[in-house]
């Protein structure tokens, strides 16, 4: 079975232990050449109906499936993205029973879970979104640029964006984490971006105990979900 995590920007394809990344806009073209069964975790509604109507070999994870991973009495989780539910389930299985999952990507999502109970969560703009905000909203301001000193306008915008984003993450986790017993699981593409482009270790900067980085959270969650499907057949 091919596992696909379809995000707003990219689609990650997990097959035979290998990971391939393509642009989200290329997903229809990719699926046209696939004959195997596909398990799809998608946060892009505009593609979901098209994919399920065109490709009978694709199983889309929906709100109906959430009950298999968490208590979803009354459909309270149905509005949540499948990536959040799958990632949270994966984190509970590996780091649980009490976890705070922080996914830092196009957007930041924070989810708090205790065993099979989804307790709360937050959604916040991603770093690139915030980084571009001043430049897009105020015509005379440039984009931030990394410099040794914090003198130029570009450098001040850059450093403020970094400090502000990390501070926001710290405060959101501090406010929503029920207690220090909850492990903090950090995932998402922007973690590597901070390390590679800005030479910043986000996990260290957060300053919390019990913080773990898990790159394959959704992949592992999709693998675990396939086992759930088999058990229910």
- Is the pLDDT at 166 greater than 90? The verdict is yes
Which residue in 125, 224, 112 sits closest to 165, CA to CA?
A: 125
pLDDT at 233: 52
pLDDT value of position 147: 72
Decide: helix, strand or coil at residue 63. Answer: helix
Averaged pLDDT score across all residues of the chain = 91
Q: Which residues pair with 41 in a beta bridge?
A: 5
The stretch 111-126 carries a mean pLDDT of 95
Integer Cα distance of 101 and 93 in angstroms: 12
| pLDDT (mean) for 41-70 | 94
From residue 130, how far is each of 101, 163, 206 by CA, in Å?
Answer: 21, 12, 18
Query: Nearest-CA neighbor of 216 among 41, 19, 58?
Result: 19
Confidence of residue 177 (pLDDT cuts 50, 70, 90): very high
DSSP 216: T
Please give the Cα distance from 109 to 123 (Å, whole number).
5
The fraction of the chain above a pLDDT of 70, given in percent, is 97
Q: Residue 131 pLDDT more than 80?
A: no
What are the tens digits of pLDDT across the range 139-150? 667 677 777 777
Tell me if the pTM is above 0.85: yes
> For the residues of 75-118, what is the DSSP string, one character each?
GTTTTS-HHHHHHHHHHHHHH-SEEEEEEESSEEEEEEEETTEE
Residue 210 pLDDT: 95
């Amino acid at each position: 079975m091919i596992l696909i995590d379809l995000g707003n920007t990219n689609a990650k394809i997990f097959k035979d232990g290998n990971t391939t990344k393509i642009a989200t806009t290329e997903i229809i073209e990719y699926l046209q050449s696939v004959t195997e069964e596909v398990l799809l975790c998608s946060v892009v509604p505009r593609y979901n109906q098209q994919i399920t109507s065109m490709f009978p070999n694709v199983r889309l994870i929906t709100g109906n499936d959430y009950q298999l991973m968490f208590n979803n009495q009354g459909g309270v989780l149905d509005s949540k993205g499948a990536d959040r539910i799958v990632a949270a389930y994966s984190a509970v299985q590996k780091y649980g029973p009490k976890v705070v999952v922080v996914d830092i990507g196009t957007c930041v999502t924070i989810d708090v879970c205790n065993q099979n109970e989804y307790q709360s969560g937050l959604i916040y703009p991603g770093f690139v979104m915030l980084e571009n905000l001043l430049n897009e909203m105020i015509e005379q301001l440039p984009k931030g640029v990394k410099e040794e000193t914090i003198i130029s306008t570009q450098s001040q915008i850059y450093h403020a964006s970094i400090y502000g984003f990390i501070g926001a993450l710290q405060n959101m986790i501090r406010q929503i984490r029920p207690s220090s017993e909850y492990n903090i699981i950090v995932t998402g593409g922007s973690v590597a971006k901070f390390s590679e482009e800005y030479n910043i270790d986000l996990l260290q900067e957060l300053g919390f105990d019990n913080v773990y980085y898990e790159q394959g959270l959704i992949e592992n969650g999709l693998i675990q979900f396939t086992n759930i499907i088999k058990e229910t057949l």
